[in-house]
């Protein structure tokens, strides 16, 4: 018996296997003690309890809030006496394309009244000679997104110009310019 205890304390408990075995015995003892102390559990509590009705996060009486169900397209709101989004897009496109002979400062000055301050800042380093098209090849198409946001696609000789127009106060301005090569 003495030899068995000596083996247990000198070799087995000092090895990794002995330490792992000791930790396992402590964990099983703690869990077992906790179950004995807590008593029998309620079988209806916890994750096994299912609701009697479906859980909803939307008021069913509030109506349809999806885009698919919308039947009336939004109409762009324009302040009286100001140009429509189509007119602003046409003016911007004409100015954007006609800048090849102008200096960069003149070109930027012509685009400034048609652009938001953010776009004017982004175009500050742009060179009009870098415009990749020379003329329009068709009518611009308008995509109404909201009453104050419109996307305009303008077909050009070497691709398509995409303009995003915003009108937070009823005055339409170009907010983004994107070029798509044909």
pLDDT the model gives residue 12: 67
Q: Predicted confidence band at 93 (pLDDT cuts at 50, 70, 90)?
A: very high
In sequence order, what are the residues at sequence separation of 6 or more whose Cβ sits closer than 8 angstroms to the Cβ of residue 106? 99
pTM: 0.59
Taking only the tens place, the pLDDT of each residue in 109-167 is 999 999 999 999 998 888 888 888 888 999 999 988 888 899 999 999 989 999 999 99
Distance CA 74, CA 97 (A): 30
Helix axes 85-97, 104-111, angle to 10 degrees: 180
pLDDT the model gives residue 47: 56
Helices (H) and strands (E) in the chain, counts: 5, 4
Residue scoring higher pLDDT (93 or 182):
93
In sequence order, what are the residues at sequence separation of 6 or more whose Cβ sits closer than 8 angstroms to the Cβ of residue 103? none
Range with the poorest average pLDDT among 24-33, 39-48, 76-85, 164-173: 39-48
Query: Domains in the chain and their CATH numbers?
Result: 85-181 (3.10.450.540)
Overall size of the chain counted in residues:
182
Short-list 112, 160, 103, CA closest to 136:
160
Taking only the tens place, the pLDDT of each residue in 114-127 is 999 999 999 888 88
Q: What is the average pLDDT score of the chain?
A: 82
Distance CA 88, CA 96 (A): 12
CB 134 within 8 A of CB 157: yes
CB 115 within 8 A of CB 173: yes
Residue 104 scores a pLDDT above 60: yes
Instruction: Give the residue carrying structure tokens 């007119």.
Output: 87
């Amino acid at each position: 018996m003495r030899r068995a205890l000596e083996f247990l304390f000198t070799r087995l408990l000092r090895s990794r296997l002995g330490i792992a075995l000791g930790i396992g015995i402590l964990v099983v003892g703690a869990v077992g003690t906790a179950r004995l102390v807590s008593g029998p559990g309620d079988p209806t509590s916890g994750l096994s309890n299912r609701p009697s009705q479906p859980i909803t996060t939307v008021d069913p009486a509030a109506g349809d809030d999806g885009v698919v169900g919308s039947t009336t397209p939004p109409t762009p709101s324009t302040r009286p006496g100001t140009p429509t989004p189509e007119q602003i897009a046409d003016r911007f496109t004409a100015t954007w394309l006609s800048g090849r002979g102008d200096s960069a400062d003149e070109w930027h000055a012509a685009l400034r009244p048609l652009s938001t301050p953010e776009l004017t800042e982004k175009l500050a380093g742009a060179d009009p000679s870098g415009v990749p098209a020379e003329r329009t090849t068709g009518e611009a198409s308008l995509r109404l997104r909201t009453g104050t946001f419109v996307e305009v696609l303008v077909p050009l000789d070497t691709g398509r110009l995409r303009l995003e127009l915003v009108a937070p106060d009823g005055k339409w301005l170009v907010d983004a310019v994107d070029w798509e090569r044909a």
